[in-house]
Amino acid sequence: MSPRSYRLLFLLLPSRFRDEYGQELGEVVEDRWRVVQERGGIASKMRSWVRETVALTRLALRLRLGLEPDGAPPRGARRKTTKRGWEMNGWGSDVRQAARSLFKQPGFTVVTVLTLGLGIGASTAIFSAVHAVLFRDLAYTDADRIVAVFHTDTETRAVRTGASAANMRDLDESSDRLSGAAVAEPWSLDLFREDRAESLRTWSVSSGFFDILGADLELGRAFLPEEYVEGNDRVVVLGHRGWTQYFGGDPSIVGRVFTLDNEPYTVIGVLPSEFALPDEAAAWIPRPPKSGDAPSRAADYMFGVARLASGATLADAQAEVDRLALALAESFPRTNAGVGMRLVPLREHLFGDVSTPLYVLLSAVGFVLLIACANVAGLMLARGAKREREYALRSAIGAGRGRLVAHVATESFILATLGCALGVGLTYLGVRVIQGLGPDHLPRIDELRVDGAVLTFSVVAAGLSAFLSGLAPAFKLSRPDLRGALSDGSHGSRGGRKGNRLRNRLVVLEVAAALVLLIGAGLLTKIFTILVNEELGFDPTDRVVIQFFANGYEEEELRQFVDQTIENMEAIPGVRAVAITSSVPGATDRTISSIEIDVPMRIEGLAPPPEGQEPITFISQVSASRFETMDISMVAGRGFDDGDRAETPPVVIVNEALVRRHLGYEDAVGQRIGVPWGADEDVWKWHEIVGVVRDVRPLGFESEPHPEVYFPFTQMGTTSLTFMLASDTDAGPLVAQASQAIWDVMPTQTLWGATTLETLLGDWLKERRFNLVLLSSFAIIALLLSAVGIYGLISFSMQQRVGELGIRRALGGRTLDVLGMVLKEGVALAAAGVLLGVAGALVLTRFLAGMLFGVEPTDWPTFGLLALAVLTVSSLATLVPAIRATRVDPMEALRD
Amino acid sequence: MSQNPEQFIPLTHVAYHVLLALSDQSRHGYGIIKHVEEKTSGRLELEAGTLYAAIKRMRDDTLIAEAKAPSGTDSRRRYYGLTPFGRSVLRAESLRLAELVALARDAQLIPPGA
């Protein structure tokens, strides 16, 4: 709790108390907050927050209800009734009475409990996801002091993929505020098993890596300092999954020797299953310093990690790292000019991009809970009004204000308890749905479960619902006009304008909240359809991708291998086209690695910019059929063909983004661009642009397509290769056949990943669909609940006005007039709600901005359409009671 | 107005601890919380709202009153101290508790020396 949010609660206090004690309360809580923050973790903060909030709310309620003496001198009589006796007696009979009256009105009770249960269940299920993903302790020692390190572009402030080994070593050696810094380099080791080689996903980690993370190994030990030396480094630590998947979870694995990449490696340890940094791999090996590290300081594809020294804050460390980065840029201008380094807390690194959607969902579900509460409050109010005489009578025979309030409070408490029970049941169901629906890479989604914290949340949510739904009726009762209720023999139209006003406000709020949710969901839906249908720029259906790293081939050997394999693949029935490419759009490193190579480039005819400031472009090497295989259309010029060979003039194809950004919409075909060539500095090789292709949106950098340059595979070789097949039939079964086609040519070739393009995109699409489905269902639940709320309110208001309606009818009011009158009342409320909702959405959709690319947060068609929908549903909800009102029999109504 | 300490007895748990905390010196709000927490080895942590509910009630009942800050302390804060009447209530309640404890001892519920 920040003291500031605590001060907001002061609004609940009566102004007299606030003036007298508000200042001190604030100071006390600030002092307490300071202590809690020093002491502790998120759990103790939460606990303290909840306790303080509950205590203050309770105080406010007691003061407001007059249960707390209000400055009057003590009255002996009141003191003599010992408080305890009064309460015990009161609670017991309150519970009995409340239960009896709820039981007598099963309709009301069932609707209320269902409403609350839905609200509590949905919010608890989402909370469980947020809790599992964001709040639970990480498996690393003192994880809050671990940071991930990224190179940044000092000019654009863009964060790069990772960090380089040499820069991280300098941090390790020169930094006082970091107790250690290390890198993990993506690696692969071939393991021969059953006559077939398999690629083990491996991280090659520099000295200090496991110390920084504070890993507790499940078996064995981590690397010793002397094992980070060339020659002693043939040791391997297995990841938990690698251990079970490849070695059957053999408990005696430590000490055994395996041949990996034709070298004997000794297994020295096994990591626990929670250990997944940089991600879940099969193996970790030591990475001795390499001679190539120093010249390739710009190679920022490695995962950098560091630990804050004791006593150092993140800001301290960042300031120091900034200074070091500047010094490095001066010493190594060629590689480090314009390169900054950013420290990112581990939690943020792991969960940063999932936290926003989860918070959005959590607030959405908060809205649903609020609507549910408003509904129940409305129902209770309506019920309270009907029982005004009952309360008046009770009061007349001596029940104090407190007793009446206690009675209502007990009712909402019982309802909330039942709702909570139902909600917990729904939570179990909801958690299962989330797991089924959730993206696989939502971190730790498999750890999702209903545990103590989650149950606590549901109880808090239930308590809150009881409080919120009982609040309005209780307040109303605390200022009753009891005499009026008793003396007024009829129960005509005086249900109290005041009571109606309160109920009206509730309905307006409900409608507004529902609309906000609908608009949020509507915007996401719109983006989703745009993404899926239009923005990919290529067709992912029935495409197979198989990635491998062709190490150890002579150039000619590789060409033959590739040609022969392509021939084999083309012979598979159903295959329409085969291509080879170094980059796969949509690759996210999970199944297929994304090979992102960015290089500086120059444009012929323009003065070269100063070193280190050249425009950057992604490059890929592709075969002639690559664009056709992906259905990427040419915008201008030609594709590659057999005429583009090693000995012919070098050519490239570029994408629209590159033309747009760097060639200024001029005719790109025929222009020449240069890229650095070979190991020598300052040798630029010039390539003629022969074609321009449409942009694809390689998923992951979702907002803007990057400039890309494609080289013909025949002119610029690479060993990072992916076969890409387009087929006329279902691609699923083709994956195995295509893999076999490779092994037919080269039985020992390991495959890094083989899958369909749709599966690859699936993960990514799934995440969006997940957010979308959940948000939409909340929005629909919210709309339904609001409709029920409006229906209930209007029905009730009509019931109260039976007499008035009867008179109107008796005086010759036509059916249509009555219908119009009632409808008008409902529609006016709905319209007010819609206006408020649009205003709310204008503000709240800003928070969605990060999830909205290509759609303005203020998308008027969406706003308009959904506002209309809400208005329609609300009007329909009014229609039923309106029709009923026209059927009022004037005689009966007047007699009553 | 003559008041009888008996009419405030029994004191609530919280009220008793607050009075006890003020028995040796005047304290401000957070000072009371810290003192109670120390004396009970952290078993009783008063929330701000709970504390001020008690403070308000006891001030209205003139068991405590605004007091001068002890020298050398933060004088910007409001300090509270026991009124003579508050002290007599505290004493009366303590005696009542002592009697209860004596009864418990007689019933051998409390080991000797504890």
pLDDT tens-digit series, residues A745-796: 888 787 888 888 877 776 666 666 666 777 777 777 777 777 777 777 777 7
Say what the pLDDT of residue A192 is: 74
Say what the pLDDT of residue B93 is: 94
For residues A3-20, average pLDDT: 79
For residues A97-103, average pLDDT: 77
**Is B60 in contact with A69 (Cβ distance < 8 A)?**
yes
**Mean pLDDT, chain A, whole residue set:** 78
Say what the pLDDT of residue A675 is: 85
Task: Give the residue from A28, A68, A70 with the most B CB atoms within 10 Å of its CB, the best one to mutate.
Answer: A28
Residue type at A493 in one-letter notation? S
Residue type at A174 in one-letter notation? S
For residues B80-102, average pLDDT: 93
Q: List all residues of chain A from 56 to 115 with a beta carbon under 8 Å from chain B.
A: 56-60, 62, 68-69, 71-74, 76, 79-80, 82
Q: Which residues of B touch A (CB under 8 A)?
A: 1, 3, 7-8, 10, 28-30, 33, 45, 47-53, 55-57, 60-61, 77-78
Say what the pLDDT of residue A307 is: 93
Tell me the backbone φ, ψ of residue A480, rounded to 5 degrees. Answer: -85, 155
Highest mean pLDDT among A135-139, A150-154, A281-285: A281-285
What is d(CA A10, CA A17) in angstroms, rounded to the nearest whole number?
9
Taking CA atoms, A40 is separated from A32, A140, A315, in Å, by 12, 17, 19
Model confidence band, residue A79 (pLDDT cutoffs 50, 70, 90): very low
Highest mean pLDDT among A312-316, A335-339, A605-609: A312-316
pLDDT at A610 over 80: no
Q: Which residues of B touch A17 (CB under 8 A)?
A: 56
Task: Give the residue from A8, A20, A21 with the most B CB atoms within 10 Å of its CB, the best one to mutate.
Answer: A21
For residues A191-199, average pLDDT: 72
Q: Which of B3, B57, B77 sits opposite A27 (nearest CB)?
A: B77
What is d(CA A586, CA A582) in angstroms, rounded to the nearest whole number?
13
Q: What is the DSSP letter of A297?
A: T
Model confidence band, residue A88 (pLDDT cutoffs 50, 70, 90): very low
ipTM associated with this complex: 0.87
Mention every residue, 6+ apart, whose C-beta is less than 8 A from residue A516. A367, A837, A840, A841, A844
Between A262-276, A305-319, A837-851, the lowest mean confidence (pLDDT) is in A837-851
- Omega before residue A289 within 30° of 0, cis: no
- pTM value is 0.55
Higher pLDDT, A655 or A154: A655
Contact, A576 vs A780, CB < 8 A?
Answer: no
Residue type at A866 in one-letter notation? L
Q: Cα-Cα-Cα-Cα dihedral of A874, A876, A882, A887, to 10°?
A: -160
Between A155-159, A644-648, A693-697, the lowest mean confidence (pLDDT) is in A155-159
Q: Which of A55, A69, A80 sits opposite B49 (nearest CB)?
A: A55
pLDDT at A612 over 80: no
Q: What is the DSSP letter of A71?
A: S
Say what the pLDDT of residue A465 is: 75
For residues A288-296, average pLDDT: 83
Q: A754 pairs with which residues across the strands?
A: A546
Contact, A360 vs A848, CB < 8 A?
Answer: yes
Q: Give me the total of CB pairs closer than 8 Å, taking one residue from chain A and one from chain B.
A: 73
pLDDT at B36 over 90: yes
**Is B7 in contact with A28 (Cβ distance < 8 A)?**
no
What is d(CA B80, CA B67) in angstroms, rounded to the nearest whole number?
5
The two structure tokens encoding residue A389: 């005489």
What is d(CA A213, CA A236) in angstroms, rounded to the nearest whole number?
17
Tell me the backbone φ, ψ of residue A385, rounded to 5 degrees. Answer: -65, -40
Q: Which of A28, A68, A74 sits opposite B53 (nearest CB)?
A: A68
pLDDT at A84 over 80: no
Say what the pLDDT of residue B82 is: 94
Say what the pLDDT of residue A671 is: 87
- Residue A5 distance to chain B (closest CA, Å): 14
Q: List all residues of chain A from 23 to 52 with a beta carbon under 8 Å from chain B.
A: 24-25, 27-29, 31-32, 51-52
What is d(CA A350, CA A443) in angstroms, rounded to the nearest whole number?
8
Model confidence band, residue A728 (pLDDT cutoffs 50, 70, 90): confident
For residues A725-736, average pLDDT: 85
- Nearest Cα neighbor of A78 from B65, B110, B99, B60 is B60
For residues A802-813, average pLDDT: 76
For residues A379-393, average pLDDT: 71
Q: List all residues of chain A from 706 to 735 with a beta carbon under 8 Å from chain B.
A: none
pLDDT at A875 over 60: yes
For B34, which residue in chain A has the nearest alpha carbon? A32
Say what the pLDDT of residue A492 is: 42
Between A158-172, A310-324, B88-102, the lowest mean confidence (pLDDT) is in A158-172
Model confidence band, residue A489 (pLDDT cutoffs 50, 70, 90): very low
Spacing of C-alpha A769 from chain mean position: 12
pLDDT at A76 over 50: no
Contact, A878 vs A791, CB < 8 A?
Answer: yes
Higher pLDDT, A491 or A132: A132
Task: Give the residue from B8, B34, B56, B78 with the most A CB atoms within 10 Å of its CB, the best one to mutate.
Answer: B56
Contacts 24+ apart (CB under 8 A), A644-647: A644/A712, A644/A714, A644/A715, A645/A714, A645/A715, A646/A714, A646/A715
- Residue B108 distance to chain A (closest CA, Å): 27
Strands A720-727 and A753-756: unpaired
Higher pLDDT, A442 or A524: A524
Between A300-314, A359-373, A547-561, B17-31, the lowest mean confidence (pLDDT) is in A359-373
Taking CA atoms, B77 is separated from A17, A876, B32, B67, in Å, by 17, 59, 13, 11
Share of chain A above pLDDT 70, in %: 81
